[in-house]
Amino acid sequence: MPEPVLKLERITKRFGGLTVLSSVDLQVDANQIVGLIGPNGAGKSTLFNVVTALYRPEEGIVFLDGKRITGAPPHRICRLGVARTFQLVRTYLTMTARENVMVAAVYGGGAMADAGRACDEALELVGLAASRDLITEHMTLSARRLLEMARALASRPRVILLDEPMAGLNASEIEEMIQVIRRARDERGLSVLWVEHKVDAIMRVCDRVVVLDHGVKISDGTPAETIVNPKVIEAYLGEPSS
């Protein structure tokens, strides 16, 4: 069996007395899009923060291509090949779109000599090539979400973690984002771990879906398996579909 690109082993994260992640195992194989869903507060963003070293887990290990990366600082994690976007968009507001992406192209771990090209290709892939000289402060939410995506791609990662890339987008923008995620996988051969509340989009696009509830993994399988899993139905019962 080939090595999974990203593998989490028994990740436990506590804040004071509150256990937010309990012994979560998860893996993302090469070239796969894996969805990560779960009710509000399930621990999805916390899981991303543990993988990208913004939080230190109490227990557990994260492997990238079989190599342990837990303990490395956030910038090293990026350079090793894990890029991410944020649930609440985080762009460099005073910079132009292209400068935003250049930060990741220059510092994200790819060859410095190719930084300019990587930057322009990433802008091209997300469809922002024409907006490259816009100051980010003046860009719409959906453009900023795409910009974050371009920034993640420009660091030339092995895997990208997307934290609700569709939050706040309208129907046509959601379709556009789906195309971008697919293109990232197909053209770049990337692996994707994707947190989303738009469950229908997840079910349409993902190869596998993992469900978290109160920090516990309650389901892991194909979209078809996931929607009939009684535990998943129970976790979502009474949840407003968003």
Partner 1 sequence: MTREKRIIGLSAIIVAALALLPFVPGAADSYLFFLLYLFFLYTIIGQAWNLVAGYTGQISLGQHAFFGLGAYTAALVWSRGLFGAEHVYYFDPLTLIASGLVAAAFALVIGFPLLSKLRGDYFALGTLGFGEIVRVAFVKGGSYTGGPFGIVLPSSLYESLRPHYWLGLGLAAGLTLLIFWIRRSSLGLALVAIRDDEMAASSNGVNVLKYKLVAFALGAFFTGMAGCLQAYYLFHVSPEGFLNLNWTLYPILIAVIGGSGTVLGPVIGALAVTVVFSYANIFFPELHPIFSGLAIILVMLFMPNGIMRLRFRGRA
Ligand X SMILES: Nc1ncnc2c1ncn2[C@@H]1O[C@H](COP(=O)(O)OP(=O)(O)OP(=O)(O)O)[C@@H](O)[C@H]1O
Binding site for partner 1 (CB under 8 A): 52, 54, 73-75, 78-79, 83-84, 86, 90-95, 99, 102-104, 106-109, 137-138, 151, 155
What is the closest distance, in whole angstroms, from the C-beta atom of residue 183 to partner 1 in the complex? 21
What are the tokens at 239? 């949840």
Residues in 33-62 at the binding interface with ligand X, rule: CB under 6 A: 38, 40-46
* Residue (44 or 158) nearer to Mg ion, CB: 44
What is the closest distance, in whole angstroms, from the C-beta atom of residue 36 to Mg ion in the complex? 10
43 contact, one of Mg ion, ligand X, partner 1, none, CB 5-8 Å limit per kind = ligand X
User: Any contact of residue 85 with ligand X (CB under 6 A)?
Assistant: no
Q: Cα–Cα distance between 109 and 143 in angstroms, integer?
A: 24
Contact characters 87-126, ligand X, x per CB under 6 A = x---------------------------------------
Judged by CB under 6 A, the number of residues near ligand X is 11
Residues in the chain: 242
* Residue (54 or 61) nearer to partner 1, CB: 54
User: Any contact of residue 45 with Mg ion (CB under 5 A)?
Assistant: yes
* Residue (68 or 75) nearer to partner 1, CB: 75
Residues in 12-31 at the binding interface with ligand X, rule: CB under 6 A: 15, 20
Binding residues for ligand X, per CB under 6 A? 15, 20, 38, 40-46, 87
